[in-house]
Amino acid sequence: MDTVELSKQNDVSAIAADDAGRHAAFEARVAADEFIEPKDWMPEAYRKTLIRQISQHAHSEIVGMLPEGNWLTRAPSLRRKAILLAKIQDECGHGLYLYAAAETLGVSRDEMTEALHAGRAKYSTIFNYPTLTWADIGAIGWLVDGAAILNQVPLQRTSYGPYARAMVRICKEESFHQRQGYESMMQLANGTPAQQRMAQDALDRWWWPSLMMFGPPDDNSPNSAQSMRWRIKRDTNDKLRQKFIDVTVPQAQALGLTIPDPDLKWNPARESYDYGAIDWAEFYAVVRGEGPVAKDRIKARIDAWESQSWVREAAMAHEAKRQNKAA
């Protein structure tokens, strides 16, 4: 072997040793519950997993504005309209914090938006169902935001600092969202027989899709094991789903509504509710983009992006002018 070859081989070994050292230090920091920050060394797969999860989370918040926006002009009172408007604006803010957190990992907002519009990035299955009646808005707050809180509270301790910090404010706002939804359902459930029927119908349609929000069962969740090891996820999909069922069933009972699951039964040995089979074929179809209003959702996002391009252009022109002036 000549000297050049030997020195190349030494370089490769040195890089490998260096990488192994950095890898071990990274794993030790995660195991010690330290936050990983944007400028810290991280394995490429960790970065990719975070970009995937955080951008999907951001897209869910943004697409999640659409089903609720559908009822803004038809809210039954000024009070309900003001609450709904505030909630939708909160969701937009959540999307923006999360896009900003993902950008710290080296992906641009435009790249993420393009991936959503091209169908390469996912968003939560729950937003591919239509909001048919006013009671759906109450049910979304109660069930969808209720499920989101259970999933997101542990994410305040996720291992990536910017994601964890974004979740702190998001969780506070989700808590208000859940309460306003439950309060709206309370009013309907204690209202006229027609209002009670509307509340029950909304629960019937949103219950199973809400359980699907937590993702596939643990034994069919390809990302869970590694994400749990890296402390990106702090609880498994099934554990969070069970927790949601256990807190929500008594809430439904207090409303006098029936959970649409004939197999739902308290299990004293487990101190949890047993529940019926989830239709995973439906879940995977919705994940594949075959949800009842999936095409409308993406079309609405693309239309908004294109028709509002003048806002982005005006903001850029204003910033360029400001910088010129400063120079």
- By CB under 6 A, name the one of 30, 105, 143, 148 that touches ligand BYC: 148
| Residue of 180, 179, 174, 183 lying closest to 90 (CA atoms) | 174
Interacting residues of 324 by C-beta distance below 8 A, sequence separation 6+ = none
- By CB under 6 A, name the one of 113, 178, 180, 237 that touches ligand BYC: 237
Instruction: Please tell me whether residue 70 binds ligand BYC under the rule CB under 6 A.
Output: no
Q: How many helices (H) and strands (E) does the chain have?
A: 14, 2
Binding mask 48-67 for ligand BYC (x = CB under 6 A): ----xx--xx--xx--x---
**Taking a C-beta distance cutoff of 8 angstroms, is the pair 306, 298 a contact?**
no
CA 65 to centroid of chain Cα atoms: 12
* Residue of minimal Cβ distance to ligand BYC: 64
**Taking a C-beta distance cutoff of 8 angstroms, is the pair 184, 143 a contact?**
no
CB of 289 to ligand BYC, least distance (A): 10
CA 131 to centroid of chain Cα atoms: 19
The CB density around residue 21, as the number of other CB atoms within 10 Å, is: 11
Stretch 10-49 residues interacting with ligand BYC (CB under 6 A): none
Stretch 184-223 residues interacting with ligand BYC (CB under 6 A): 212-216, 221-223
CB of 82 to ligand BYC, least distance (A): 17
How far is residue 211's CA from residue 200's CA, in Å, rounded to a whole number?
17
**Of residues 22 and 107, the one with the C-beta less far from ligand BYC:** 107
**Of residues 221 and 272, the one with the C-beta less far from ligand BYC:** 221
Q: Where are the beta strands (DSSP E) in the chain?
A: 265-267, 272-274
CB of 208 to ligand BYC, least distance (A): 12
In one-letter notation, the amino acid at residue 11 is D
How far is residue 151's CA from residue 287's CA, in Å, rounded to a whole number?
18
- By CB under 6 A, name the one of 122, 165, 234, 239 that touches ligand BYC: 122
Binding mask 266-305 for ligand BYC (x = CB under 6 A): ---------------------x------------------
Interface with ligand BYC by CB under 6 A: which residues? 52-53, 56-57, 60-61, 64, 91, 122, 124-125, 144-145, 148, 151, 212-216, 221-224, 227, 233, 237, 287
